[in-house]
Amino acid sequence: MGERKYQNLISPTRSTAPSTTSSLSNLLQQTSLSGIQSASGVRSNMSPTATLLHGNTTPLRALHPSSFLVLFTPVVPPPSPSASPNTDPFEPLGRALAQHHARIRHVPYVPSVGMTDTHLAFLRHAGAVVVVVVCEKGSEGRQWEFARSVMTHKGACEELGDVPVCLVLVGGEGRGGDLGGFGSVIWSRGYGEGALREVAGVMVG
């Protein structure tokens, strides 16, 4: 089914300005992760689970093969001390989604920076959007701002009117901001590899 290889940070058909992409890369490299608390993939005596809290995922499952599914994930620490610090912890989610839809575009965001021109460029080309917010130890405020910004820009762009947006909440027992504006909301106990595979299963499996 087309290009099956999972692609990370690949520009859509209409590429963005090189300077903008370079700026985002620099921000990702410079951002300190020490102040952010991680949500572990497993809590005591509990296996990772993913639950649909709101809406339905039918539009994601029915996404046209030629459409882009844009995955926005926060820059956060690894889910466990044993995980590689040099690997994006949400890569397993992108790979799991790519097993069901070939055209995945994974674009990290820095919570303290928020929405950039690069994110907007990907958003404008999206056929569906997934936004991840990690709700742990009060660190999610800026992530909620990013998620709301996605919805604001979607509402302001007529071409994105029918584009489904799925919010993935990690930790926090599924509590957070207003969930009503999102087409679907999925809660996951953590963001270890197994937990993220379950999220993908709920979303498009």
DSSP 15: P
pLDDT at residue 82, as a whole number: 82
- Comparing CA positions, the residue from 185, 183, 178, 146 lying closest to residue 164 is 183
- The predicted structure's pLDDT at residue 177: 62
Instruction: Report the candidate in 20, 19, 10 with the shortest Cα–Cα distance to residue 117.
Output: 20
* Structure token digits, residue 18: 């090189």
**pLDDT value at residue 86:** 82
Per-residue pLDDT of the chain (205 residues; tens, 9 = 90+): 444 433 444 433 333 333 444 444 444 344 333 333 344 443 434 554 899 999 999 999 999 999 999 999 999 998 888 878 788 999 999 999 999 999 999 999 999 999 999 999 999 999 999 999 998 767 788 999 999 999 999 999 988 989 999 999 999 866 556 777 899 999 999 999 999 999 999 999 8
pLDDT at 16: 38
Fold for the domain defined by 50-56+66-78+88-204: Rossmann fold (3.40.50)
Domain regions of the chain by residue span: 50-56+66-78+88-204
Q: Is the pTM of this model over 0.85?
A: no
Residues 195, 188 contacting (CB under 8 angstroms): yes
pLDDT at 83: 79
Burial 83-101, CB ≥16 within 10 A → b, else e: beeeebbbebbbbbbbebb
Res 58: pLDDT: 95
